[in-house]
Amino acid sequence: MAHTYIRFDFGTDEDKAQQARHKLDGWRQAFRLDKRVQYKLDRPESTPAGSAARPEAAEKPDASKSKEKATAKAAAKAAGKSGEAAGAKPEAATNGRVGLLVRLYFSSHEKLSEQRWLQRIPSEEPFKNASPKMIQQGDAEFEATDEQFEAIS
């Protein structure tokens, strides 16, 4: 089965990205597109920072890891107690660029459905202004996009 990616760039507009995610969720449930339409939010600034921190953590001894976990738990409890602090932290973390990577994964006998979704998704409201870019299986950047999609958690 061939699949196609659609990349959307919402800039720094987190609200539009969340509206688009919500719309995709609604379509997936309404049309039973669970495996056929998948998406992941892509935040390029947060990916390098997370991967850079992992090697440093691997080099530290086990005692410092347990201290970090205890500190993280204490910070989570403190943030949970104060709703204002919990609300401020996600905003600070998401002020960067936000992208949405959608994978359409239809079988060969569903070509008409795939064609319709390829036309419909970029034409709907939250997706229109997000500069949609379609990446087919034969394109040069398909492999990099496929690896990126699998790497995003």
Residue 40's DSSP bridge partners are 101
Q: Domain check: are 41 and 82 in the same one?
A: no
70 burial level (CB within 10 Å; 0-12, 13-18, 19+): exposed
pLDDT band, very low/low/confident/very high, at 2 (cuts 50, 70, 90): confident
CATH number at residue 103: 3.30.70
Q: Domain check: are 71 and 86 in the same one?
A: yes
pLDDT band, very low/low/confident/very high, at 14 (cuts 50, 70, 90): very high
Q: Which residues contact 28 (CB under 8 A, 6 or more apart)?
A: 34, 37
Q: What are phi and psi of 120, to 5 degrees?
A: -75, -45
Q: Report the domain count for the chain.
A: 2
Q: What is the mean pLDDT of residues 71-75?
A: 48
pLDDT score, position 96: 84
Least confident of 17-26, 60-69, 116-125: 60-69
Beta carbons of 10 and 130 less than 8 angstroms apart: yes
Q: What is the mean pLDDT of residues 100-104?
A: 96
Chain position carrying tokens 């990916």:
47
- Rounded Cα gap, residues 97 and 44, in angstroms: 7
Kindly give the pairing relationship between strand 99-105 and strand 37-42. Answer: antiparallel
- Above 60 in pLDDT, residue 73? no
pTM of the shown model = 0.68
| Structural domain harbouring 130 | 3-45+97-151
